[in-house]
Amino acid sequence: MIKLENVTKVYKTGVRALNDVSLDIAPGEFVYVIGPTGAGKSTFIKLLYREEVATSGKVFVDGQDVKKIKNWKVPYFRRKIGVVFQNYRLLPKKTVFENIAFALEVTDTPKVEIRKKVRRVLELVGLEDKANAFPHELSGGQQQRVAIARAIVNNPKVLIADEPTGNLDPDTSKEIIELLEKINEVNQTTVLVVTHDRDIVQKYKKRTIRIEDGCIKTDTSLGGYNI
């Protein structure tokens, strides 16, 4: 599903964020990406949803060479990828339902279908009763669930979560990771979680990739933080 071949990313400022990175993630995998701040984790996921383009090497997502996608086609490519952030990024003036529907509206989905899909995804994240609430009326965990619902409502092949539990307490964090696990299992979505959270990585053992100084330090399917 995701494949990097000798990828190097050097920013215009001269910062070398990634250095000759190669890796392979199969469809339906659940992967943690860990490492200290500034190690290149963010650059790595930005390359995947083409916020940035690799300086050299190749990035494939769903068999597509990301570099070769024309600028105007990027939006259509993005529909294959769901992204969730630490700060949720919900629209404050829209209800939960509208926030999720927004992702379908911009892709011209018929109204009837929007209603059906949003309801289904709300059920999956366990927020059926909050459809008409505004984001500020929800807890952090609930807001992150809405963000996840929005990210998966298009049925993307890959779900990227950038520090999804960064603002949440340990219990809520576990719920979020369990939700991501559920999505991974139910929809067979490839899930990529970038995180700092030791407890989570220790408790829910998955394939773990550690990035340090722009290189992959370890990559093991044993899981656990201290590898």
Partner 1 sequence: MMILRGIKNFPKHCKTALVSIWRNGVMSFSSIFAVTITLLLIAVVMTIALNVNKITVNIENSLTIYVKVDRAATEEQSKAIEPQLKALKGVKSVKFSSKDQELNKLIASQDKNNKKLFENYRNDNPLGDAYTVEVKNVKNLDSVAKKIEHIQYVNEVTYGGSSTNKLVKILENIRNGGAIFVVALIVVVLFMIANTIKMAITARSTEIAIMRMVGASNWYIRIPFMLEGAFIGLFGAIIPIIALRYGYTFAYEQLTQMMGAGLVAFVSPFPFVYKLSGILLLLGAGVGLIGAFFSVRKFLKL
Nearer CB in complex with partner 1: 154/208: 154
Alpha helices, DSSP H only, in 126-158?
140-152
User: Which amino acid is residue 159, in one-letter code?
Assistant: L
Closest CA to 159 of 193, 133, 126, 127: 193
Residue span 43-72 as binding mask against partner 1, x where in contact by CB under 8 A, dash where not? ------xx--------------------xx
Residue of 26, 38, 76, 178 that binds partner 1 (CB under 8 A):
76
Number of residues that bind partner 1 (CB under 8 A): 21
Q: Contact region for partner 1 (CB under 8 A) — 18-26, 38-46, 76-84, 135-143? A: 76-84
Cα torsion 36, 162, 157, 105 to 10°: value is -160
Residue of 58, 78, 119, 196 that binds partner 1 (CB under 8 A):
78
Q: Does 89 bind partner 1 (CB under 8 A)?
A: yes
Nearer CB in complex with partner 1: 29/162: 162
The answer to whether the beta carbons of residues 95 and 132 sit under 8 Å apart is: yes
Q: At its nearest, how many Å lie between partner 1 and the CB of residue 23?
A: 23
Q: At its nearest, how many Å lie between partner 1 and the CB of residue 89?
A: 6
Residue of 7, 83, 193, 211 that binds partner 1 (CB under 8 A):
83
Would you put residue 74 in left (φ > 0), alpha (ψ -120 to 50) or beta? Answer: alpha
Nearer CB in complex with partner 1: 15/91: 91
Residue span 154-193 as binding mask against partner 1, x where in contact by CB under 8 A, dash where not? x---------------------------------------
Residue span 97-136 as binding mask against partner 1, x where in contact by CB under 8 A, dash where not? -----xx--xxx----------------------------
Give whole-number Cα distances, 89 to 37, 108, 158, 172, 224, in Å. 21, 21, 19, 18, 29
Give whole-number Cα distances, 61 to 20, 77, 118, 156, 157, in Å. 18, 9, 26, 12, 9
Handedness of CA 198, 40, 23, 80 (dihedral sign): positive
Q: How far apart are CA 208 and CA 34, in angstroms?
A: 7
Q: Are strands 30-34 and 190-194 parallel, antiparallel or unpaired?
A: parallel
Q: Does 145 bind partner 1 (CB under 8 A)?
A: no
Name the site residues for partner 1 (rule: CB under 8 A).
49-50, 71-72, 74-79, 83, 89, 91, 102-103, 106-108, 150-151, 154
